[in-house]
Every structure is written in structure tokens, then in C-alpha cells.
Amino acid sequence: MARWYMRLILALAVVAGFLLWGHNDASVLGLAQVSGPKPLAAPSLETSEAVLQRFIRSVTVQVLVHLDKYTRPLEWYQEVNARGERGEWKVRYGEWSKTPQRVVAAGTGVIVYSLDGSPYSGTFILTNAHVVRPLVNKAALGSPSKPFDEYRLEDLVVETLPPRVTPKEGARPYSQYYFTLPTNYVQIKAKEDQFFTVYAKVVDYDLALDVALVQICKPDGTPAAVWGLPYVTLRDFNPFLGESVWVCGAPLGIPFSLDRGRVNQVGLNLGESGGIVWNDQIKLDIAAAPGSSGSGIFDDRGYLIALLHGTLVYAGNFIRGGILAIPVTHIRDWLLWRGWAFIVTAPPYVGAPYYGSK
């Protein structure tokens, strides 16, 4: 869920959490022993859960879209006639800012393919359509002639069914804004300490389902020879009620956090808003924070089972246990019918926890 987009539609957000690695005191036993039998080797810290966590983290990336934001102030006034009666509110438009504000729309993505050879070579990442929407839908940028209105928070009404944010009746915006694109590509961040740029382009997109596919590319937009990275396999059935799940993302635009929880509702129908159809949703009991729409939802074996893309909000507050996700069967069908079957049918990554299992 991109930060600048929160004022336009319901905050689309992902979970915040902590990566908890095991600790074993046995690793420090026997250090003072100078004679006698050799101590037993300390148990490995690589528990099955630690392996699962490391794999989930390895297929998770941050997706960044850079924008330039231009604003102008609005001054509202009322004219008073000779009888002292006030007329209707009128607006006086200020000048557009000369220097743009640099804005980064931050989301999360999941690597779903990274192979060399038949049928395709390259690396592909799954994320939310609303994260990359400015790159594929010029209307999402606005323009000087068709800018977006900006309201104060107290003048907004947040609705749940369907999820949307609308201004109160009679509310007046205090400014207007629009965006331009300094670049025509997505930037990918795979590590917290990554200081080089990785480019990606949007190769497919569906706003109603809220999914997008991006491919690692060169600066000129041509596919880059990048493969051999960890990637996840899509499970062939949806999450079920009460299932234990894992999520990894970049809450508040800060990569990366890992969290776990459970599915607390399936088949939730909320209607349509902002072009996104919020039906047949999976709901999770994990905390939310703006900044990491597109986080993968994984089962206890490491399979991708859903894609996070929103949260329920009441009175401006995120509802605990109200994280919304797109079930995996919808994503599989979309990939198959849009010509990306090689992603769905790719062999499992050899380092995946489920590799070699049936």
C-alpha cells in the first residue's frame, strides 16, 4: 500500500512483525573443559522453523516507485453583500510548486520465478497492482488540469463495506496535487543494506484483482539476465479457516519484518472500491501498517497461498485481525489465462523447504 495513495482509497497495508531466530545455550557449553571426553556437538540452530523463515525472507523484496509531487494551496472565501449576507464559498487557486516533492510509493513483492532456459529466462516478481499503478495508468498521476483534492483527516469518512475513503459532505480541500514520473521503472530492494539499483518493469497488471507482475530488467527496459534466485511455488488450493500462516513485508516502508498468524475468515465479500474488487477475501489476525502491500502469505511448508493487499479500517484505525489477502487460486488462474503458465508450472526451487516433498 503506497503512502501517497492512502488519501485516495482505503489504506492498503501489510503486517508488521519481528523476525525471531532461535537461541541455543548448548553452543557455549564445555568451553572451560580441558581434559576428559570431548563434549557432544551442540545441536544445530537450523531448526525447521528457522529454515522456513529464512526461505520466506529470501523470496521477499521491496518494490519502490519514485514520484515527483506538485502541490498548490487553495484559499476559500465568501463574499458579503451590502446587507451583510454571506455568499457561497469560492476558491482562490495558488501557484503550483516549482520544485517537486520527491515521494516514494513503497510496497512489497514475492519472487515467483527465477530460472534460465526453457520456456523462459529471467526473474519475475508478484506484487499488488495499486503499488505500481502510476506506471501503467496515467490517470493515477493526475495533472495540472485534473489534480487530486487533498483533505484534512477530520474531513474524511472511512467506510468498510466496500472499503473506501470519501470526504464529508460540504468538506473543502485545502490543497491540490498531481504526480509526474522521474523514471519509468520499478526499483527492487532485496536486502536491507543494498546500495545499488535493481530495475524492473511491469509486464502485466489487473486492478480489479489487484495483482501485477514485474520482471527484472536493464535500465533501458529490456529483460536482464538475472536468474538463480530463490523463488516460491504457488499452492494449488486456498487457505482454510484456522490455518497457520507466515507473512514477510516492509511495514512503514522499512524492510523487512516477518510475522505469523492465522486465517480467521475466508470468502469475505466487501464489494468494489477504487477499481479493486474486494470479494472472496482471506482475512488474517496479523497487525497492519501502511507501506508493504503485496506481501506474500505463506503456509507452514513455505508455499505461497495468498497475497496481502489491504486492511479493514474503522474510525481511521486499523482493525486488529482485519488484514485482507487475495487467495492463491485467483492468482494462479490469472497467471494461466494471461500467458504466464510457466510461472505456475515451474519446478520447485531446490532450496525451498518443500523441495522433494509430495
pLDDT in tens, 300-317: 999 999 999 987 766 556
Amino acid 161: pLDDT: 66
Are 268 and 249 within 8 A, CB to CB? no
Average pLDDT over residues 338-348: 95
What DSSP letter does each residue of 263-328 carry, written as one string? EEEEEE---EETTEE--SEEEE----EET-TT-EEE-TTS-EEEEEEEEEEETTEEEEEEEEEEEH
Regarding predicted confidence, which is higher, 254 or 38?
254
Rounded Cα gap, residues 311 and 283, in angstroms = 9
Taking only the tens place, the pLDDT of each residue in 213-253 is 999 999 998 999 999 999 999 999 999 999 999 999 988 88
Sign of CA dihedral 254, 258, 259, 264: positive
Amino acid 30: pLDDT: 31
Average pLDDT over residues 78-87: 87
Amino acid 316: pLDDT: 58
Class of domain 3-20+46-76+91-344: mainly beta
Amino acid 329: pLDDT: 95
Amino acid 318: pLDDT: 64
Amino acid 262: pLDDT: 94
* Residue % of the chain over a pLDDT of 70: 82
Confidence of residue 358 (pLDDT cuts 50, 70, 90): low
> Is 266 exposed, middle or buried, given 0-12, 13-18 or 19+ CB atoms closer than 10 A?
middle
Amino acid 3: pLDDT: 40
All residues at 6 or more sequence positions from 251 whose CB lies less than 8 Å from its CB, including other chains? 13, 14, 15, 16, 17, 257, 288, 289, 290, 291, 292
On the question of pLDDT at 189 being above 90, the answer is yes
State CA 22 to chain mean position distance.
27
* Selection from 13, 337, 293 nearest residue 126 by Cα: 293
Confidence of residue 298 (pLDDT cuts 50, 70, 90): very high
Regarding predicted confidence, which is higher, 271 or 44?
271
Taking only the tens place, the pLDDT of each residue in 58-77 is 999 999 999 999 999 999 99
* Selection from 132, 4, 9 nearest residue 70 by Cα: 4
Regarding predicted confidence, which is higher, 274 or 29?
274
Taking only the tens place, the pLDDT of each residue in 12-49 is 333 333 222 222 333 222 323 333 344 444 444 456 88
Amino acid 11: pLDDT: 36
On the question of pLDDT at 133 being above 70, the answer is yes
Amino acid 319: pLDDT: 65
Amino acid 2: pLDDT: 46
List b or e across 13-42, with b for residues whose CB sees 16 or more CB atoms inside 10 angstroms. Answer: bbbbbeeeeeeeeeeeeeeeeeeeeeeeee
Regarding predicted confidence, which is higher, 356 or 91?
91
Number of helices (H), then strands (E), belonging to the chain: the values are 4, 21
What DSSP letter does each residue of 105-144 carry, written as one string? EEEEEEEEEEE-SSS--EEEEEE-HHHHHHHH-GGGT--S
Q: Which of 44-58, 69-83, 135-149 has the lowest mean pLDDT?
A: 44-58
Sign of CA dihedral 158, 163, 164, 170: negative
Confidence of residue 255 (pLDDT cuts 50, 70, 90): confident
Amino acid 12: pLDDT: 34
Domain ranges of the chain: 3-20+46-76+91-344
Average pLDDT over residues 277-292: 83
For the chain, what is the mean pLDDT?
84
Rounded Cα gap, residues 331 and 124, in angstroms = 14
3-class DSSP state of 52: helix
Residue carrying C-alpha cell 487533498: 150
Confidence of residue 261 (pLDDT cuts 50, 70, 90): very high
